[in-house]
Amino acid sequence: MSESVARVVAALRGHGLAAQVVEYPEGTRTAAEAAAAVGCDVDQIVKSIAFRGEASGRCLLFLTAGGNRVDPQLAMGLAGEPLAKADADFVRVETGFAIGGVAPVGHARPIRAWGDPRLLDFPRVWAAAGTPRHVFPAEPRALLSAAGAEVAHFALR
Ligand code: 5CA
């Protein structure tokens, strides 16, 4: 098991969640790819969208339903500071994962997070497990809780 996947599995188990990681060799790099691989609605894929807080310098994570996008104004309102796009190096340092594999849990450093209420419309959702070809299923409320994510309105269709 890759070190990244192992970190996600340990974090999920630490929160009492089953960590049933599935590998799709064809890749789950984007929400569309992950939905096609799993065979689920694209909104059942949890995108972990990272921003850099311009005042705090901290990484902030928006766990977004696959078919939605983050509204920057709403996200800034929640963060309470201007947000900049996170570049690949920043994402790697803060989360410990490469873009396309960023998991909602198991980060290198504690990260403040918010969750898209659209995810709660499903009995289960799928999120990246640390690499661009590993995902795991979870009950959405339990996943957002494990991620320390506050359910909030920041997403646009
Ligand atoms: N494994 C899939 C489904 S779980 C996944 O990780 N999807 S994702 O949406 O969370 O991750 C891809 C996201 O990474 C994109 O939506 C985009 O916001 C971000 N991204 C892609 N390229 C870059 C880049 N060069 N710099 C910063 N962020 C990027």
What whole-number percentage of the chain has pLDDT above 90? 99
Q: How many beta carbons lie within 10 A of that of residue 24, not counting itself?
A: 15
CATH number of the domain at 3-156, please? 3.90.960.10
In Å, how far are 62, 92, 147, 155 from 42, measured between CA atoms? 16, 25, 20, 15
Residues 80-135 have pLDDT tens digits of 999 999 999 999 999 999 999 999 999 999 999 999 999 999 999 999 999 999 99
Q: What's the gap in Å between 50 CA and the centre of ligand 1?
A: 8
Among the atoms of ligand 1, which is closest to the Cα of residue 128? 4
Decide: 48 in ligand 1 pocket, CB within 6 A.
yes
Among 35, 29, 33, residue whose Cα is nearest residue 48: 29
Decide: 87 in ligand 1 pocket, CB within 6 A.
yes
Mean of all residue pLDDT scores within the chain: 98
Dig out the tokens for 97 from the structure: 């994962």
DSSP alpha helix (H) spans, 30-107 = 31-38, 72-79, 88-95
CB 67 within 8 A of CB 43: yes
Among 1, 53, 48, residue whose Cα is nearest residue 22: 1
Domain extent listing, the chain: 3-156
Please tell me the predicted confidence (pLDDT) of residue 95: 98
Decide: 88 in ligand 1 pocket, CB within 6 A.
yes
Tally helices (H) and strands (E) across the chain. 5, 10
Candidate from 49, 125, 136 with most ligand 1 atoms within 8 A of CB, to mutate: 49
Say what the pTM is. 0.97
Among 134, 146, 130, residue whose Cα is nearest residue 92: 130
